[in-house]
């Protein structure tokens, strides 16, 4: 009987684990710096915008797993995630259309050289970097909102509040045999 009471209390409580939380708190900044490295270094080594965005999302998912949904929504709420997603697509398409307006093909970075005031190879490198930043932002925000949609609780109109425990989790469960 005591065992079942303990079990119920464990289930209604918000997930708290000192080891997991401490490890996540230590690891998350390094994961994010590594994601920025993958984004910025994408044209010399494996990686690029998509992979860097996924690693950024992985750091957000770690916050989600260790500190709960309220902690991660307090940092980036759903509306801001959608805005970031649109901003990433805008950066990508904007650079491409800028090249189009300057007389080249879509994403023809060599046309950016007069605007940036650099040589053509450097303009290509900078153009690729800008496009990858846009892709990384879009992928990060889109995957983050997918994670919130499939793993979070649905009723989160007031994003600033911490999310209450869902009703079905407070129901008494039978103890494990």
Q: Interface with other proteins includes 31 (CB under 8 A)?
A: yes
Q: Interface with other proteins includes 84 (CB under 8 A)?
A: no
Q: Interface with other proteins includes 33 (CB under 8 A)?
A: no
Q: Which of 90, 75, 35, 88 is nearest to 57 (CA)?
A: 35
Q: What is the DSSP letter of 105?
A: -
**Taking the CA atoms of the chain, what radius of gyration do you get in angstroms?**
22
Task: For residue 95, count CB atoms less than 10 angstroms from its CB and return exposed for 0-12, middle for 13-18, buried for 19 or more.
Answer: buried
Among 1, 3, 9, 46, binds other proteins (CB under 8 A): 46
Q: Cβ of residue 134: shortest distance to other proteins, in angstroms?
A: 21
Query: What CA–CA distance (Å, rounded) separates 130 from 159?
Result: 31
Contacts of 172 (CB under 8 A, 6+ apart): 4, 8
Among 21, 36, 40, 61, binds other proteins (CB under 8 A): 61
Of 81-89, 116-124, 127-135, 169-177, which part binds other proteins (CB under 8 A)?
Answer: 169-177
Q: Which residues contribute to the site for other proteins (CB under 8 A)?
A: 7, 10-11, 15, 20, 31, 34, 38, 45-47, 51, 55, 58, 61-62, 65-66, 169, 173, 176
């Amino acid at each position: 009987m005591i065992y079942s009471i303990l079990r119920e209390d464990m289930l209604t409580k918000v997930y708290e684990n000192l080891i997991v939380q401490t490890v996540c708190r230590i690891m998350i900044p390094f994961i994010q710096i590594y994601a920025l490295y993958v984004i910025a270094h994408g044209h010399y080594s494996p990686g690029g915008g998509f992979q860097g965005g996924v690693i950024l999302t992985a750091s957000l998912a770690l916050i989600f797993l260790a500190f709960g949904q309220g902690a991660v929504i307090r940092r980036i709420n759903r509306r801001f995630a959608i805005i970031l997603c649109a901003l990433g697509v805008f950066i990508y398409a904007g650079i491409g259309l800028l090249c189009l307006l300057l007389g080249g093909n879509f994403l023809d970075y060599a046309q950016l050289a007069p605007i940036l005031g650099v040589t053509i190879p450097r303009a290509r490198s900078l153009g690729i970097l800008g496009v990858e930043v846009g892709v990384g932002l879009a992928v990060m925000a889109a995957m983050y909102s997918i994670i919130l949609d499939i793993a979070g609780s649905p009723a989160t109109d007031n994003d600033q509040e911490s999310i209450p425990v869902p009703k079905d989790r407070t129901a008494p469960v039978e103890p494990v045999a």
